[in-house]
Structure 1
Amino acid sequence: MVTILFLEGWYGLNFRVYLLAFSAFVVGTVELIVGGILDLIASDLNISVSAAGYFITIFSIAFAISAPILMNVTARLERKKLYLLALAFFVVANLIVAFSSSYNLTLAARALSAMSGAVIIVLSISLASQLVPESHRGRAIGIIYMGISGSLVLGVPIGMVIGNAYGWRAPFILIAALSIVAMIANAWLLKRTAPSPVMPFKKQLSSLCTSKIISGQLISYLMLTGHLTLYAYLTPYIHANFEISPSLMSIVYFLFGITAVAGGGLGGLLADKWGPTKTILLVLVCFSGSLFMMTLASQASIYVFIAAMMIWGGLSWALSPAQQSYLIKQAPETIDIQLSLNNSIMHLGIATGSFIGGKVIESSSVANTPWVGGLIALLGLGAAIFSISRKPSRADVPPMQASSVAAAE
């Protein structure tokens, strides 16, 4: 109880926001951990490293496709019940991964893990935004993303250590155990929350099919695509420029994660203080520059490189709170579908960035991944400028929103 009161006093948020962030932390861990233990998985299952890499691809694709569909199908379910149900499926999926010896079954379990994880992430963001006043919305969403990025700080490095010590299956058993803890805590402390009024799926789509919303959604896609162009191949990129030990590599990821968590929190604070639009533009400019800076830093010492990497890491998660707040303001009546679609687009960006980075390496060198990623991120800045400069009008807004536009004018 003392800890809860401290958290509420320190950041001014309902303590349940931190509980939701813990669940987001667990989901983030299971998605990202595979990249750190690909060689162990490939060796145990007697498959190639590229085949093991499909465990990342299937997760991203399943997450992207299932998020908006599942949120629409489950729109009538009470939110707490749905949240606990998703956590239960998440536990089962990761236990299958931990104990399966079949490659195809493991792929299927990863897909199930992604589908249930998608519901958990979207509900975490949606519920967190409802637990606080609008003036603290950016901060609340930032805390959820601190949970996700926190998996980089603790989840992935610890998973790599546990995987190397006890086998690649051990981290997934740990994830299942943490998910059970999250289930118990949420069952005890999370309040029942009625779903939002259900809108027909066609009306939901029509409310999203405006140039302002579409270009706004593209911001996340292009930024994540640029980010993963380098991040998906960060280990080989570092090895190509520096000779470092596995233990130092874990420290590098740990430092990246620390700044990623800090960036998520800072992004939330900036979104509340300056507004989402100014924050989006500032973060995108700095993020694009940080990717170009990585090329220069790789020519210097490892210490300069780590410093530049930490700046890049912090900026990589600073956009999300402002981006989510921006989208919620554009179509508040379709919050769940907006957030689920945005998370789908983010995962498509992860998959696309990983693919583009691989093609860059095949056609030239891993050394080119930072500046290619930087160029893609600049396209995200262009999408942001276009979206923000668009003024909602009756020609650009579906009929269901026309009255709210008129009131705003």
Structure 2
Amino acid sequence: MNKKVYLFAIASFVVGAAELILGGILDLIADALRVPLSKAGLLISIFSLVYAVSAPVVLTATAKVERKKVYMWSLVVFLLSNILAAASMNYTMLFLSRILAAASGSSIIILSTTLAARIVKPEYQGRAIGVVFMGISASLVLGIPLGIYIGNNLGWREVFAVIAILTGIIIAVMWFTMDRMQPTVPLPLKQQLKAVRGSKMVAIHLTTLFVLAGHLTLYAYFTPFLQETFGLSSNMVMLVYGIFGIAAVAGGGLGGVISDKWNPAGAVVAVISLFLISMAVLPLAVNLPFAAFLVLMIVWSALSWAVSAVQNNLIIHSSPENSEILISTNSAITHLGISIGSYVGGLVIQGSSVLYNGWAGSIFVLLGLICSLFAVTRQDSISSQAESSLKA
């Protein structure tokens, strides 16, 4: 397999870290900029919201532009966004930097995935895409604990400075090693959207929206949750995030195994049901010994990533001919859910206590479970419906 695939994985790692890292240093940013924690949480919401809507727009607008040029410009904008974040003297500057980082980062992730598949032989395309997503997964395992460590020992600005330095290195390496690649002809955005019109696919996308919103209602504020409930030090919080990340990556693999062992419909319902139970019980577990809480958290974390695996497998099973388009729109819905969840989580904290975020999130997950039950009982052929829509 072409070794350059690993460069795309590294770029994806850096972008993933920039997105996820904020959850671990949110309290530091709120204190430094003298804003409520709920307002600081909007920095997560806006990143996910912009990420969700910008990638199809940007990539469609640049569809006829040579891909290395688009990739390099995306990296440059991402670099500038993190420099702006590190230099931010107020909340507004940091908010703007998150918008720029999300718009450019979404393009980098999607291009890393598609270009990695293009530079290898057909029999290695799946493996190449897997390597890129390993980079994203690694950002969860390493990015947040590293961000907490740097933030608490050097400062939150230095977190973005490190990301900017890593991005600069990637730009230099990519400039000299990445080959020019002409664009492929993409489907128009209007036709891509037509593929999600079936009631089953709408329900699948709504499932993703509600489950991710529910998860982020608590996860976006997990640092203050741990500090308020257990009084953990910053080093202990960093350790907990590391455990969470390892469990999450393992959960993604578990979701794939479950999807292969069971039928996709049964796997989705089972995983979301267990995820709902784990999330609803988590706030009660603060009264248990910390070791018992960790065990439940590991289950919650693993299931949070297993959901994505089983959902994508259900999409592929439901509409194999249009799976790439539909997984792309499902990814956009994912980030919309993240944006909604982090916003609602801030409202819960503002109105009551972070202790209740888990239960507020459980309401979203319950709605997701209802949507999944509706989706798996639909017998309409999404494959033929989307295919006829695309031909229209």
CA RMSD across the alignment:
3.3
1:109 aligns with 2:109: no
Shift of 1:41: 2.7
Q: Specify whether residues 379 and 15 from structure 1 end up closer, same or farther in structure 2 by C-alpha distance, changes over 3 A only.
A: farther
Shift of 1:42: 3.6
Give the equivalent residue in structure 1 for 2:241: 253
Q: Specify whether residues 118 and 235 from structure 1 end up closer, same or farther in structure 2 by C-alpha distance, changes over 3 A only.
A: same
Query: 1:122, 1:339 within 8 Å by CA — same for their partners in 2?
Result: no
Give the equivalent residue in structure 2 for 1:209: 197
1:314 aligns with 2:314: no
- Identify which range, 201-210 or 326-335, moves more after superposition: 326-335
Shift of 1:281: 3.4
Shift of 1:175: 0.7
Shift of 1:240: 3.5
1:283 aligns with 2:271: yes
Shift of 1:319: 2.5
Q: Specify whether residues 196 and 214 from structure 1 end up closer, same or farther in structure 2 by C-alpha distance, changes over 3 A only.
A: farther
TM-score norm. by structure 2 comes to 0.85
- Identify which range, 126-135 or 334-343, moves more after superposition: 126-135
Give the equivalent residue in structure 2 for 1:91: 79
- Give, as a single letter, the amino acid of the residue that structure 2 aligns with 1:54: L
Q: Specify whether residues 129 and 375 from structure 1 end up closer, same or farther in structure 2 by C-alpha distance, changes over 3 A only.
A: farther
Query: 1:229, 1:357 within 8 Å by CA — same for their partners in 2?
Result: yes
Q: Match for 2:290 among 302, 306, 310?
A: 302
Instruction: Give the distance between the partners of 2:325 and 2:68, measured in 1 at CA.
Output: 17
1:72 aligns with 2:63: no
Give the equivalent residue in structure 1 for 2:379: 391
1:24 aligns with 2:21: no
Instruction: Give the distance between the partners of 2:378 and 2:179, measured in 1 at CA.
Output: 38
Aligned length: 390
In structure 1, stretches of 5+ residues that fail to align are 1-7, 9-13, 404-409
Shift of 1:143: 4.8
1:124 aligns with 2:112: yes
Instruction: Give the distance between the partners of 1:40 and 1:394, measured in 2 at CA.
Output: 47
Could you say what secondary structure the match of 2:156 adopts?
Answer: coil
Identity %: 43
Instruction: Give the distance between the partners of 1:298 and 1:132, measured in 2 at CA.
Output: 51
1:223 aligns with 2:211: yes
Shift of 1:279: 4.0
Instruction: Give the distance between the partners of 1:324 and 1:394, measured in 2 at CA.
Output: 14
Query: 1:145, 1:321 within 8 Å by CA — same for their partners in 2?
Result: no
Instruction: Give the distance between the partners of 2:170 and 2:158, measured in 1 at CA.
Output: 19
Deviations 1:224-270 (A, max 9, x none): 11111221222232234323222211111111111112223333455
Shift of 1:173: 1.4
Give the equivalent residue in structure 2 for 1:162: 150
- Give, as a single letter, the amino acid of the residue that structure 2 aligns with 1:95: I
Instruction: Give the distance between the partners of 1:336 and 1:84, measured in 2 at CA.
Output: 24
Deviations 1:10-63 (A, max 9, x none): xxxx65554433222211211122232234334444544444333222212221
Shift of 1:336: 6.2
Query: 2:256, 2:310 within 8 Å by CA — same for their partners in 1?
Result: yes
Query: 1:142, 1:267 within 8 Å by CA — same for their partners in 2?
Result: no
In structure 2, stretches of 5+ residues that fail to align are none
TM-score norm. by structure 1 comes to 0.82
